[in-house]
């Protein structure tokens, strides 16, 4: 019996003789049964369902049992959860006594799957297997192997341990190997590392992650034509870094959001052992404002700054910031802005990028209610700058340096939503302001990805 349609009590009725006023029906939960438990530990289930005993009337019982049901589903132990409310029977039963039965079906011990994944301009095949609810308290042990279209192969293993407390704390430890190819910078990177992560909510929606990561990176030249400044950085390096991530997202959806804010700040300190040392700050901000029913104005800003820790520790090319390309400043080639050598991007230590987008449905709304809903047109203006700036002493001077020689592009295009997180963009871009050495891309640019400026 699932009574979600009765969740909202009729607030208008105040007299006691209205028979359907659920909050006036005294009820006492006398017994809760959970059927179908196997390896899930009792203490976890008891902790989750305990609050049901506090319900004093029938309305509360119904609402709370729904809440508990959602909580049970979120534990990561069960595939399905059903609720059944009945009057309590037996010798000790009182007239207002209720008995609630949860029928759960546990997840299988081993799950496996093959998925395809779309990352930033790259598709990949993921073969994975996981052991859900490994030790009976919602833990997860997972291994994955990824095979990407750009020779990016990798694997990772992860152990996730939720603490089931108020702050939604989750502990994660993982190891991974990842290969990536950066033709636009002339290098190939193989990373192998371990990481520990503790994440929790400080206030609702504001998620913190504290991470430690130890990575062994092997940077090799992409080809014989790799430019010498990149070649000089080839070889092995070891990074040990502490990171703090703050994430706030109240948008109504990750793609084509109508309203809401995304805020993300990453602070990283590398150099606790290893030969890589820097302090790095990065910030992402996105604001969506609905203008009319389906016309949305989006403003976004990204910025990053990093500094070498000391003379003994190094910053490598794979640590630096890059800018340009269909995911950041459109109208430029991938990593096409900023310091270059032989048309290969070297990266820099400071950057900012900003974008103003106007999203509208297709003109005349063809395919409304169907295909038309996953399509949008957008008009955009992107601007940004990246370099190894030497900042002045005062804020005014620094601001002038940052905005001097900035890049600007505008254009319009068509976007297609893929699932709930990714999108395809087909844009016509016009770079308006560029600097010597930049690789511009005037014309049609296509991008698939998850993160866009």
Task: Write down the least CB distance from residue 275 to another protein, Å.
Answer: 5
Task: Write down the least CB distance from residue 193 to another protein, Å.
Answer: 12
Binders of another protein among residues 313 to 342 (CB under 8 A) are 342
Q: Is 216 in the site for another protein (CB under 8 A)?
A: yes
Q: Is 228 in the site for another protein (CB under 8 A)?
A: yes
Pairing of strands 97-106, 28-35: parallel
Q: Which of 112, 113, 123, 235 binds another protein (CB under 8 A)?
A: 235
Residues 6+ apart with CB under 8 A from 1: 83, 84, 85
Task: Give whichever of 216 and 389 is closer to another protein, judged by the CB atom.
Answer: 216
Q: Is 272 in the site for another protein (CB under 8 A)?
A: no
Is the distance from CB of 302 to CB of 417 less than 8 angstroms?
no
Query: If DSSP codes are grouped into helix, strand and coil, which group holds residue 373?
Result: helix
Task: Write down the least CB distance from residue 388 to another protein, Å.
Answer: 22
Q: Is 308 in the site for another protein (CB under 8 A)?
A: no
Q: Which of 85, 171, 221, 375 binds another protein (CB under 8 A)?
A: 221
Q: Is 436 in the site for another protein (CB under 8 A)?
A: no
Q: Is 366 in the site for another protein (CB under 8 A)?
A: no
Task: Give whichever of 167 and 238 is closer to another protein, judged by the CB atom.
Answer: 238
Residues 6+ apart with CB under 8 A from 25: 57, 58, 59, 96
Task: Write down the least CB distance from residue 44 to another protein, Å.
Answer: 38
Task: Write down the least CB distance from residue 191 to another protein, Å.
Answer: 13
Rounded to whole angstroms, how far apart are CA atoms 452 and 329? Answer: 9
Q: Is 410 in the site for another protein (CB under 8 A)?
A: no
Helix, strand, coil share (%) of the chain residues, nearest 5? 10, 55, 35
Task: Write down the least CB distance from residue 224 to another protein, Å.
Answer: 5
Q: Which stretch binds another protein (CB under 8 A): 139-147, 223-231, 292-300, 445-453?
A: 223-231
Task: Write down the least CB distance from residue 318 to another protein, Å.
Answer: 14
Q: Is 220 in the site for another protein (CB under 8 A)?
A: yes
Q: Is 238 in the site for another protein (CB under 8 A)?
A: yes
Residue (of 358, 133, 319) closest to 240 by Cα position: 319
Q: Is 275 in the site for another protein (CB under 8 A)?
A: yes
Applying CB under 8 A, the residues found at the interface with another protein are 216, 219-221, 224, 228, 231-236, 238, 273-275, 342
């Amino acid at each position: 019996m699932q009574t979600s349609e009765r969740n909202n009590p009729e607030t208008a009725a105040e007299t006691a003789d209205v028979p359907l006023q659920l909050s006036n029906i005294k009820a006492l939960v006398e017994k809760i049964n959970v059927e179908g438990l196997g390896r899930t530990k009792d203490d976890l289930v008891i902790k989750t369902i305990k609050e049901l005993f506090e319900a004093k009337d029938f309305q509360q019982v119904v609402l709370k049992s729904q809440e508990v049901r959602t909580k049970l589903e979120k534990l990561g132990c069960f595939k399905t959860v059903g609720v059944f409310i009945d009057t309590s029977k037996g010798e000790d039963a009182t007239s207002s006594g209720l008995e609630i039965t949860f029928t759960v079906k546990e997840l299988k011990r081993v799950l496996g799957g093959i998925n395809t994944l779309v990352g930033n301009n790259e598709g990949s095949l993921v073969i994975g297997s996981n052991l859900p609810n490994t030790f009976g308290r919602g833990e997860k042990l997972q291994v994955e192997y990824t095979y990407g279209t750009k020779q990016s192969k990798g694997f990772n293993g992860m152990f996730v341990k939720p603490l089931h407390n108020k702050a939604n704390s989750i502990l994660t430890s993982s190891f991974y190997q990842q290969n990536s190819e950066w033709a636009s910078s002339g290098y190939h990177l193989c990373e192998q590392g371990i990481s520990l992560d503790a994440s929790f909510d400080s206030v609702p929606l504001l998620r913190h992650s504290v991470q430690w990561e130890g990575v062994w990176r092997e940077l090799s030249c992409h080809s014989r034509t790799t430019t010498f400044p990149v070649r000089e950085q080839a070889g092995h390096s070891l990074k040990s870094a502490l990171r703090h991530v703050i994430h706030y997202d109240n948008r109504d959806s990750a793609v084509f959001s109508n309203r809401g804010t995304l805020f993300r700040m990453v602070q990283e300190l590398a150099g606790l052992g290893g030969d890589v040392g820097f302090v790095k700050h990065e910030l992402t901000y996105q604001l969506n404002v609905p203008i009319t029913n389906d016309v949305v104005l989006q403003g976004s800003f990204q910025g990053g700054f990093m500094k070498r820790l000391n003379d003994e520790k190094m910053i490598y090319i794979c640590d630096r910031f890059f800018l340009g390309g269909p995911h950041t400043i459109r109208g430029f080639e991938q990593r096409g802005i900023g310091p270059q050598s032989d048309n290969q991007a070297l990266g820099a230590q400071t950057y900012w990028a900003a974008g103003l987008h106007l999203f509208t449905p297709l003109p005349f709304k063809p395919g409304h209610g169907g295909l038309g809903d996953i399509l949008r047109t957008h008009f955009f203006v992107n601007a940004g700058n990246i370099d190894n700036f030497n900042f002045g002493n005062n804020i005014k001077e620094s601001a002038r340096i940052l905005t001097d020689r900035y890049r600007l592009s505008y254009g319009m295009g068509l976007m297609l939503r893929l699932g709930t997180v990714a999108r395809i963009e087909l844009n016509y871009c016009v770079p308006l302001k560029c600097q010597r050495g930049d690789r511009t891309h005037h014309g049609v640019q296509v991008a698939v990805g998850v993160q866009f400026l």
